[in-house]
A and B are shown apart, each in its own frame.
Chain A
Amino acid sequence: MEANERRRLATEEASRWWIKMDTRSADTLSAEDQRQFTEWLRESPLHVSAMLHVAHVHDALGRFKGWSEVATDGADENDNVVTLRDQSPREESAPRRRSAWLPAALAAGLCTFVVGGAWMWLGRGEVIVTDRAERREVMLSDGSVVRLEPESMVRASMSDDVRNITLVRGRALFHVSKDPNRPFIVAANNTAVRAIGTAFGVEHKKDEIIVTVAEGEVAVRPVAPKIPILPMTQQDESPSAAQPASAGVVSKSVSEVRLTAGKQVIVQSSGSAEPVREVDAERALAWSEGRLVFDGVPLRDVAEEFNRYNHVQLRIEGEDLGQRLVRGVFQASDPETLIAFIGAGAHVSVTYPDRQNIVVAAAP
C-alpha cells in the first residue's frame, strides 16, 4: 500500500474515532470502544499522528471566526445523493479490522528499508542496524515494534510458528504484538527471552545480557551457544557478534526464569543468571526514552555512553577526572547537560576544538 493510502486510511479512522468521542455528545465510549481505541492507537505511530492532526483540524475550526460568511447553499439538493450513499453496507464507526493493517505495517517496514538503507534482507531474516548517534524504530511484519538504540543490530526472522529475533549487539526495546500461536523469541548471546504479548528491553552490557520487563511477562532461559541453526550470512559483523545463540535452539528442558513487569535479570557470559530483582522499570528502561541513568559510573564510561548517542563527541582528559563517579539522569541527546553537571562538581575546563568535539579536562 502506498504511503499516501495508509495515511488516508489512518485519517479516516482517526476522524471516525474523533467524532465518536465528541465531547458535546451525551454518549460516552463504551468500555469495548475504549479498548478498541487503545488498541488502534498502539498499533502504529501513523494512527497517533492522524489523531493529533484531526485534533488540530477540530481546534482550527473551533477558532474560525468567519462562519457567518460560509455559504451553505445547495445543502438540501445534495441530500439525495448522500442518503443514497448512506445505504451502502458500511459498518458504522467500527474500527477497521486488523487484517487491513498488517500489509500497511509491512509496507512501513519496506519504506524504512528504502529510506534508511540500514534495513536489509539478508538470507532469511531482516537485519536492522543503527549507527552511532542513530536511533531507529521499526515495525516488524507481525506488528511488533523494535526500538533500536545507537550502535545496535537486530536480526528478525518470521515463520508461521515462531518469531525469531536476535539482538546481535547493543540494546533494544521490544513491544510485542499478541500472537499466542507464534511465540516471540529474542536471543542475545547465550540468553533467550520468550514473550507472547508484552514490552521489554534487552541489552548487551559488557559480557552480560540484561532483560527488563515493562509490561506483561517473559520467560528467560539460557541457550546452548555455538549451535546456531540459522546460517550466519553476514560478513560485516563485529567480532563480539560472532555466533550469537540462535533463538531456534531453545530447548524446553533448560530451566527458565519467569519475569513479570518491573522485574529484571542479568545473565552472565557463563550462562548463569543472577537472581531476579525488582527494579523501577521506567528507570531501568530510561534509555528507551532517550534518557541515560547512571548510578555511580566512572565519568569515562559515561562519556562513552553519551558518544554512542551523539555526533558531537565528548572527550574526558585526565585520569582522575575520568575515574570520578557519576550519579544522575541525563538527556542522551544533550551532552551539555552532562557538562554542566561535571562543571558543578569539579573544577574543569571545557573546550570546543571543532563542531564535532568537546573536550573536558581537569582545570589546571
Chain B
Amino acid sequence: MSDPGSKGHVADWFRRLRTPLRRFLVGRGAVRVADLDDIAQEVFLRLLRYRTSEVVSQPQAYLFKIASNVAAEWAIRARHRFEHEPHWLDSLVAEDQVEETLDSAAAQNEIRRAVDTLTPRERQIIKLYFEEGLTHAQIAERIGVTLRVVRRDFEKSYSKLRGELKLQQTGALKYGSE
C-alpha cells in the first residue's frame, strides 16, 4: 500500500478520500440531516470492527465508505417498507415533493442566510475558496495573513455553519449525479 504521507501519492490519496466521500454525499441513498446522527451511530460501530491497522492507513476513506454503505442500506430498507405498506405511498410522495435539494431556491437561500452570519473575513475566505477555487495557501497570500489564520477561520466558519445551516437533507438525494 502506498504511504499516504508521501507527497508522491497525493493524487492517490485524494482519489481514495474523494470517491467514497462523493458517494456518501451524492450517492443513491437519501439522507436527511436529521438522520445523520443515527447513521453516525451505525458507522461508529462498524468502524470499531475493523483492525486499527487497517483504518489507520486511510481513515477518511473508511469513514465515508462505511457512511455511504449505511446510507444505501437505509434507503433499501425504506424501499422495502414502502413495498409492504402501499398506503404509505401517498404520504411519502407528498413528502418528497416539499423536500428541498441543495439546488432548490429554498436551500440556496438558506445557505446564503447562514453564510451571512459569519464575520466579513470568514466570508471572504470561504468565498475565495469556493468561488475562485484557491488553496488555503493562496488565500493566505491574497489577503495577507498567515496560513494558520486562514485555517483557523475555516475551522470557525464550519463550526458555526454546522449549527446555523437548517437544511433538511444532504445532497444525497441527487440520484446518480456522481
B151 x A70 contact (CB < 8 A): no
Q: Is A58 an interface residue (CB 8 A)?
A: yes
Chain B at the A interface: mostly helix, strand, loop or mixed? helix
A23 x B158 contact (CB < 8 A): no
Can you name the residue of chain A whose Cβ is closest to the Cβ of B132? A67
- Residues on A with C-beta less than 8 A from B63 are 41, 48, 51
A45 x B130 contact (CB < 8 A): no
Determine how close the nearest CB of chain A comes to the CB of B64; give it in whole angstroms: 7
- Residues on A with C-beta less than 8 A from B173 are none
- Residues on B with C-beta less than 8 A from A28 are 4-7, 9-10, 13
- Residues on A with C-beta less than 8 A from B148 are 86, 92
- Residues on B with C-beta less than 8 A from A59 are 25, 102, 170-171
Can you name the residue of chain A whose Cβ is closest to the Cβ of B174? A63
- Residues on A with C-beta less than 8 A from B36 are 49, 52-53, 56
B155 x A19 contact (CB < 8 A): yes
Determine how close the nearest CB of chain B comes to the CB of A222; give it in whole angstroms: 28
Chain B 16-55 against A: per-residue CB contact (8 Å), 1 yes, 0 no? 0110010011000000010011011101111111111001
Bound-complex Cα distance A203 to B147 (A): 53
B25 x A48 contact (CB < 8 A): no
CB < 8 Å neighbour of B59 from A30, A37, A82, A215? A37
Bound-complex Cα distance A19 to B154 (A): 7
Can you name the residue of chain A whose Cβ is closest to the Cβ of B163? A11
Question: A61-B161, A72-B127, A93-B151 in contact; A34/B56 too (CB < 8 A)?
Answer: yes
A60 x B111 contact (CB < 8 A): yes
Determine how close the nearest CB of chain B comes to the CB of A17; give it in whole angstroms: 9
Bound-complex Cα distance A42 to B54 (A): 13
Count of interface residues, chain A, beta-carbon cutoff 8 Å: 81
Q: Is B89 an interface residue (CB 8 A)?
A: no
CB < 8 Å neighbour of B52 from A53, A55, A145, A215? A215
Bound-complex Cα distance A49 to B44 (A): 9
Chain A 112-139 against B: per-residue CB contact (8 Å), 1 yes, 0 no? 0000000000000000000000000100
Determine how close the nearest CB of chain B comes to the CB of A171; give it in whole angstroms: 15
- Residues on A with C-beta less than 8 A from B111 are 60-61, 63-64, 66
Determine how close the nearest CB of chain A comes to the CB of B11; give it in whole angstroms: 11
Bound-complex Cα distance A53 to B155 (A): 13
A147 x B59 contact (CB < 8 A): no
- Residues on B with C-beta less than 8 A from A57 are 158, 161-162, 165
- Residues on A with C-beta less than 8 A from B158 are 11, 14-15, 18-19, 54, 57-58
Count of interface residues, chain B, beta-carbon cutoff 8 Å: 84
Determine how close the nearest CB of chain B comes to the CB of A147; give it in whole angstroms: 6
- Residues on A with C-beta less than 8 A from B152 are 86, 92
A55 x B21 contact (CB < 8 A): yes
B47 x A12 contact (CB < 8 A): no
- Residues on B with C-beta less than 8 A from A63 are 102-103, 111, 171
| 16 contacting pairs across A/B (C-beta < 8 A) | A8-B163, A19-B136, A28-B13, A45-B44, A45-B45, A57-B161, A58-B158, A60-B102, A63-B102, A63-B111, A63-B171, A64-B108, A67-B127, A69-B112, A70-B116, A288-B49
In addition to A21-B17, A38-B56, 20 A-B residue pairs with Cβ atoms within 8 Å of each other are A15-B159, A19-B136, A21-B60, A25-B137, A28-B13, A42-B47, A45-B43, A45-B45, A49-B37, A53-B162, A56-B33, A56-B36, A59-B102, A61-B161, A63-B111, A64-B108, A82-B153, A92-B151, A137-B41, A336-B84
Residues of A within 8 A of B (CB): 8, 11-12, 14-16, 18-26, 28-31, 34-35, 37-38, 41-42, 44-75, 77-79, 82-83, 86, 92-93, 137, 145, 147, 175, 199, 214-215, 261, 282, 285, 288-289, 331, 333-334, 336
